[in-house]
Amino acid sequence: MATKAVPGAAATGEPTDVATPATAPNPLRKGLRLERIPEPCTMVIIGATGDLTERKLAPALYNLMLGGFLPPEFTVVGFARRDLSDVAFRERLHASVGDHSRNRPVKASIWASFARSVEYQRGEFHDPNAFAELTKRLARIDRDRGTAGNRLFYLAVPPVLHPEIVRQLAAAGLVASGEARDARHKGWTRVIVEKPFGSDLASARQLNREISEVFNEDQIYRIDHYLGKETVQNLAVFRFGNGLFEPIWNRRYIDSVQITVAETVGIEGRGEFYDQTGALRDIVQNHALQLLAVFAMEPPIEFQASDLRDEKLKVLRAVKPMTQREVALSTVRGQYQAGWVAGEQVSPYREEPEVAPDSQRETYAALKLAIQSWRWAGVPFYLRTGKALATRATEIAVQFKQAPLALFERAGASSLDPNVLAIRIQPDEGILLRFGAKVPGPGLQIRGVNMDFRYGSSFAVDSPDAYETLILDCMIGDASLFTRADELERAWEILDPILTAWESGEGGELHFYEAGSWGPAAADELLERDGRTWRHP
């Protein structure tokens, strides 16, 4: 997971043999890149005219091409309901890359090469004839471009459409992979599935069952873009590659752990979706619990997908689901009211379009979880996420146990703050360590100081977008950073009792907070009862 090369070479400012063919490439860089170039393949984006393609997929594919991570035969087929020509679809993608790529302006030569590999097919998702035409197109691309029958289907559509689409793919003969195909076509077939993965345990199991009736588990890549972020991948290197930290990564030295996923934006016009979903389903079920699992897992036997995902699953299985009484004591749900964020006035959640005027949906969630394992017994894990908060930040903050104070108290020093290790996921990816130091001058005064590592300044490299890493991993067949079915279902087993208690009214009242704040006062009280406070990034 964390030891492999990741795309991003073109952003370093150093020449590469792809972007500047006249310049001699760095042999080491070339070797690492060649290890990450997938086999020739066709990527079919189903729902190719949507927001996900515009904001994430098109820029990611362009940046992979720019970095030299895609084979010359690579081909993109957009499949959607709109009536577009190949040329019109290419123009849409070009505009998307120009607006959202981390590498701008768009290089004409790279874009021209990429555009030649882009096609478009109009089709309804329930129409067998459209999928029959797609089958013919893919066979022609295999023949003309040498993509060898390797196909990646990206379902960039709402999950409610996934079962119908995979059934149509199966009926069209597009899901077989490897030896399951005839002797002439042994290429691989994979499918990327976007979140949300169900709305509760029952719906997640049903979705898994319906997709698994068509695809084998090793063909299914459930994407969580947080796991593609550089700092999340670096967690394994940080823990298992440094003799300094792994010995203290346990209940003997760690007092508590906080995982924060804070957003300054509101629901951004997604009122209908969000009022059915809420913060617990939208962020905690996937992003926050995955961060917890990666942080707390035991060392895997090898850095292989099966071993990594086995260890994450063990962490989730050790998380004790709450009783109804525990939900009321160990969780807080909130909803933002009017306020100011970054100098802009924010309307109350209940006044957002397509939101019920008496909505009980949470835009903020805070939980106290326990991992019942030898390593983590007695260490509380506090998770929180919210919309319209004071700062946009995602981080894991580790608070270590307090050092003995007797020595310094006798010398007249004030109390010491505990050491904190903050792993920043976004923005400004990096790691901060806070410890006590003596203030220069007479007497003994102690003040907290920071050691701050930032990826951008330390490596002079623009980190790849998470979608670049994850799409490339799927093409290569590395499932390390994707969620397995049993992980997904266990996450819902943890959260289902909370959702049930909240919706029944037995899990505590809905608290309100001012937009631009750090959430409801009840969330502060959740930690204050334990003698702790939230860290505000």
User: Mind spelling out the 3-state secondary structure of 177-231?
Assistant: CHHHCCCCCCCCEEEEECCCCCCCHHHHHHHHHHHHCCCCHHHEEECCHHHHCHH
pLDDT computed for residue 23 by the predictor: 33
Question: Average pLDDT of the chain?
Answer: 88
pLDDT band of 410, cuts 50, 70, 90: low
Question: Residue 183: is its pLDDT beyond 90?
Answer: no
- pLDDT (average), residues 10-27: 36
To the nearest 10 degrees (0 to 180), the angle between helices 162-171 and 128-145 is 60
DSSP 473: H
pLDDT band of 413, cuts 50, 70, 90: low
Contact between 169 and 213 under an 8 Å Cβ cutoff? The reply is: no
Q: Is 394 helix (H, G, I), strand (E, B) or coil?
A: strand
Q: How far is CA 404 from CA 89, 377, 440, in A?
A: 65, 22, 22
Task: Provide, rounded to the nearest whole percent, the portion of the chain with pLDDT above 90.
Answer: 70
pLDDT computed for residue 179 by the predictor: 58
Query: Could you report the per-residue pLDDT of 503-516, keeping only the tens digit for each?
Result: 998 999 999 999 99
Which of 93-97, 384-388, 418-422, 488-492 is predicted least confidently? 418-422
Residues of the chain with CATH 3.40.50.720: 9-194
Residues of the chain with CATH 3.30.360.10: 227-401+484-528
Question: Residue 167: is its pLDDT beyond 90?
Answer: yes
pLDDT computed for residue 35 by the predictor: 64
pLDDT band of 482, cuts 50, 70, 90: very high
Which of 13-17, 163-167, 276-280 is predicted least confidently? 13-17
- pLDDT (average), residues 303-315: 92
pLDDT band of 447, cuts 50, 70, 90: confident
Best CA proximity match to 2, nearest among 248, 284, 221, 302: 302
Q: What's the Rg (C-alpha) of the chain?
A: 25
Residue predicted with more confidence, 454 or 175: 175
Of all helices (H) and strands (E), which one includes residue 169?
helix 162-171
- Maximum alpha-carbon separation in the chain: 84
Strand partners, 435: 449
Question: Residue 85: is its pLDDT beyond 80?
Answer: yes
Question: Residue 60: is its pLDDT beyond 50?
Answer: yes
Superfamily (CATH) of domain 9-194: NAD(P)-binding Rossmann-like Domain (3.40.50.720)
pLDDT computed for residue 68 by the predictor: 92
Q: Is 513 helix (H, G, I), strand (E, B) or coil?
A: strand
Measured over the CA atoms of residue 198, residue 204, residue 207 and residue 212, the dihedral's sign is positive
Which of 121-125, 187-191, 270-274 is predicted least confidently? 270-274
pLDDT computed for residue 388 by the predictor: 97
Question: Residue 8: is its pLDDT beyond 80?
Answer: no
Question: Residue 283: is its pLDDT beyond 90?
Answer: yes
Residue predicted with more confidence, 463 or 512: 512
Which of 38-47, 85-94, 179-188, 366-375 is predicted least confidently? 179-188
Contact between 333 and 310 under an 8 Å Cβ cutoff? The reply is: no
pLDDT computed for residue 415 by the predictor: 65
Question: Residue 66: is its pLDDT beyond 60?
Answer: yes
Residue predicted with more confidence, 427 or 463: 427
pLDDT computed for residue 302 by the predictor: 85
Contact between 2 and 232 under an 8 Å Cβ cutoff? The reply is: no
Burial state string for 319-329 with b = 16 or more CB within 10 A and e = fewer than 16: beebeeebbbe
Residue 287 bears catalytic tag: yes
Task: Provide, rounded to the nearest whole percent, the portion of the chain with pLDDT above 70.
Answer: 89
pLDDT computed for residue 404 by the predictor: 73
- pLDDT (average), residues 425-454: 81
Highest-pLDDT range among 235-244, 336-345, 418-427: 336-345
Strand partners, 449: 435
Question: Residue 439: is its pLDDT beyond 50?
Answer: yes
H-helix segments, 43-85: 51-52, 58-66
pLDDT computed for residue 125 by the predictor: 96
Question: Residue 18: is its pLDDT beyond 90?
Answer: no
DSSP 243: T
* Helix, strand and coil in the chain, % to nearest 5: 40, 20, 40
Strand partners, 121: 79
Name the fold adopted by 227-401+484-528.
Dihydrodipicolinate Reductase; domain 2 (3.30.360)
pLDDT computed for residue 449 by the predictor: 79
Cα gap 124→120, rounded to integer Å: 13
Query: Could you report the per-residue pLDDT of 318-331, keeping only the tens digit for each?
Result: 999 999 899 999 99
pLDDT computed for residue 537 by the predictor: 86
Residue predicted with more confidence, 448 or 363: 363
Query: Residues 162, 225, 287, 511: which is the catalytic one?
Result: 287
Question: Residue 445: is its pLDDT beyond 80?
Answer: no
Contact between 284 and 385 under an 8 Å Cβ cutoff? The reply is: yes
Question: Residue 442: is its pLDDT beyond 80?
Answer: no
C-alpha angle 527-532-536 in degrees, rounded to nearest 5: 85
Question: Residue 185: is its pLDDT beyond 70?
Answer: no
pLDDT computed for residue 318 by the predictor: 98
pLDDT band of 412, cuts 50, 70, 90: low
